Amino acid sequence: MTPSPTLDAVVVGAGPNGLAAAVTLARAGLRVRVLERHAGLGGGLSSAPLTLPGFVHDVGSAIHPLGFASPAFREWPLHAFGLEWVWPDAPYAHVMPDGTGVVVERDLERTAEGFGRDGWAWRALFEPLVMNWENLLDDVLRPLPRLPRHPLTLARFGVRGVPPAALTARLLRTPEARAAWAGLAAHANLPLSTPGTGAAALVLGTLAHAVGWPFPRGGAQSLTDALAAYLHFLGGEIETGVEVRSMRDVPPARAVLVDSSPGVLLDLLGDRVSPSYRAWTHRYRYGPGLLKLDYALSGPVPWRDPALARAGTLHLGGTLEDIARAEASVARGVAPERPYVLAAQHTLFDPTRAPAGHHTFWAYAHTPPGTPDTYADSIEAQIERAAPGFRDLVLARGTTNARQLEAFSPVYRGGDVNGGRGDLWGLLARPLPSATPYRTPAPGVYLCSSSTPPGGGIHGMSGCWAARAALSDVFGKR
CA–CA separation, 94 vs 319, rounded Å?
Answer: 9
Helix or strand or coil: residue 291?
A: strand
- Residues with Cβ < 8 Å from 397, sequence gap 6 or more? 51, 293, 294, 295, 296, 376, 380
CA–CA separation, 345 vs 87, rounded Å?
Answer: 12
The crossing angle, in degrees rounded to 10, of helices 151-161 and 119-131 is: 150
pLDDT at residue 5 in the model: 54
Q: Exposed e or buried b for every residue in 432-445, given b needs 16+ CB within 10 A?
A: bebebbbbbebeeb
**DSSP assignment of 344-405, as one string?**
E-GGGT-GGGSSTT-EEEEEEEEE-TT--GGGHHHHHHHHHHHSTTTGGGEEEEEEE-HHHH
Q: Is 460 left (phi over 0), alpha (psi -120 to 50) or beta?
A: left
CA–CA separation, 170 vs 92, rounded Å?
Answer: 22
Contact 178, 223 (CB under 8 A): no
pLDDT at residue 286 in the model: 92
CA–CA separation, 81 vs 70, rounded Å?
Answer: 17
The pTM score is: 0.95
Across the chain, which has 478 residues, the per-10-residue mean pLDDT values are: 71 98 98 97 96 97 97 97 98 97 97 97 97 95 81 89 95 97 96 95 98 98 98 98 95 97 93 89 91 98 98 97 98 97 98 98 96 97 98 98 93 92 85 92 96 95 98 93
Helix or strand or coil: residue 213?
A: coil
CA–CA separation, 58 vs 220, rounded Å?
Answer: 6
pLDDT at residue 2 in the model: 46
